[in-house]
């Protein structure tokens, strides 16, 4: 089993040594800008970890793994236009730094690039790999649509929310792990299991992201607390709070979320205090643990030596904030 560090370095080197610049320069510069803001490269790391877990040659997985990272960055680029987000990973978003047309078209080109890299796999595996990727890409688009729909919908339930983050976030985590399994030519039953593991892990991961927006340490989390609260985003925390609120708490919640005269920091602070009072932080941790336990159970049942699962298990713990 290769150590996580080795796999992370392999992915970093792969991106570092790839030449994305091409003509016309105005099309490719925003792509290089986007791919240069490395982030955690979580998805390609998962591809390689899974490939290694099933005894595959990670070198055969490097290029398709890059395809998933390029795809993920393409979705962020287009999502940032739709959300009119000014910043991504602390830097100006493409549509702010350039303009919307550039962001649309460079995004489209990144989507093609993603397919080019995903396709760099053995021909006999291509039909299955492409089926997986097409299915994933479609679901991620559907998830983003639900996310936008929910903004103006007043009757969103926690089940709706779970379905949305499954599509928007979890399927790509699951796809990453399954892609590694396919490239390692793992038993299809095992490949399906690691996909299911990825779905549960992906849910836990997104819920952790929701949790950190209210209860994270900004210096560790890397972004300011309360963005979701300010935007009235219907996260698990928001939906849970409205579900469990007493009539009195409900009127406070409604006031914080709907009174335009309340100042930003007051709103964030007030909502977080209400969340704590209603144990929303505890409910969220329970929900994270629930999905993480389901993920762990599936990983336990995988037909592989326990020591080979260690690196994935550690990474998964990190994804839900339990490795510190």
| Nearer to a copy of itself among residue 128 and residue 196 (C-beta) | 128
Residue of 17, 19, 21, 101 that binds a copy of itself (CB under 8 A): 101
How close are the terminal C-alpha atoms of the chain, in Å? Answer: 23
List the interface residues with a copy of itself, window 60-79 (CB under 8 A): 78
Residue of 48, 54, 146, 178 that binds a copy of itself (CB under 8 A): 146
The verdict on 305 binding a copy of itself (CB under 8 A) reads no
List the interface residues with a copy of itself, window 105-134 (CB under 8 A): 105, 108-109, 111-113, 115-116, 119, 123-124, 126-127, 130-131, 134
| Nearer to a copy of itself among residue 22 and residue 265 (C-beta) | 22
288, 320 Cβ separation under 8 angstroms: yes
The verdict on 306 binding a copy of itself (CB under 8 A) reads no
Smallest distance, Å, CB 295 to a copy of itself? 26
Interface region with a copy of itself, contact rule CB under 8 A, candidates 136-144, 180-188, 202-210, 247-255: 136-144
Smallest distance, Å, CB 78 to a copy of itself? 6
Residue 209 to residue 221: CA distance in whole angstroms: 9
| Nearer to a copy of itself among residue 127 and residue 247 (C-beta) | 127
Smallest distance, Å, CB 186 to a copy of itself? 20
The verdict on 138 binding a copy of itself (CB under 8 A) reads yes
Q: Which residues sit at the interface with a copy of itself, rule CB under 8 A? A: 22-24, 26-27, 78, 81-82, 100-101, 104-105, 108-109, 111-113, 115-116, 119, 123-124, 126-127, 130-131, 134, 137-138, 141-142, 144-146, 148-149
């Amino acid at each position: 089993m290769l150590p996580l560090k080795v796999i992370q370095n392999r992915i970093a080197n792969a991106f570092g040594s790839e030449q994305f610049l091409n003509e016309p320069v105005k099309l490719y510069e925003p792509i290089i800008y986007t791919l240069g803001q490395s982030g955690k490269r979580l998805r390609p790391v998962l591809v390689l970890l899974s490939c290694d877990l099933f005894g595959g040659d990670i070198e055969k997985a490097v290029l398709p793994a890059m395809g998933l990272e390029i795809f993920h960055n393409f979705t962020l680029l287009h999502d940032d236009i739709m959300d009119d987000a000014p910043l991504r990973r602390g830097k100006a978003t493409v549509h702010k730094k350039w303009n919307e047309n550039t962001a649309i078209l460079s995004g489209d080109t990144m989507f093609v690039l993603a397919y080019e890299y995903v396709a760099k796999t053995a021909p006999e595996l291509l039909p299955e790999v492409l089926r997986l990727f097409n299915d994933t890409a479609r679901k991620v688009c559907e998830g983003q649509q639900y996310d936008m729909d929910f903004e103006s919908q007043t009757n969103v339930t926690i089940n709706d929310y779970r379905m949305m983050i499954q599509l928007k976030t979890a399927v790509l985590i699951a796809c990453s792990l399954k892609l590694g399994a396919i490239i390692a030519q793992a038993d299809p039953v095992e490949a399906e299991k690691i996909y299911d593991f990825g779905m549960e892990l992906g849910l836990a991961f997104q819920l952790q992201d929701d949790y950190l927006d209210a209860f994270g340490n900004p210096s560790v989390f890397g972004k300011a607390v309360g963005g979701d609260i300010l935007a009235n985003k219907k996260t698990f925390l928001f939906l849970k709070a409205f579900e469990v609120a007493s009539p009195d708490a409900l009127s406070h919640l409604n006031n914080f979320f709907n009174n335009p005269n309340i100042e930003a920091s007051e709103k964030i602070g007030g909502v977080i205090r209400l969340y704590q009072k209603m144990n929303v932080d505890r409910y969220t941790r329970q929900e994270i643990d629930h999905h993480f336990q389901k993920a762990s159970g599936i990983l336990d049942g995988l037909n592989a030596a326990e020591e080979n699962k260690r690196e994935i298990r550690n990474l998964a713990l990190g994804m839900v904030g339990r490795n510190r």
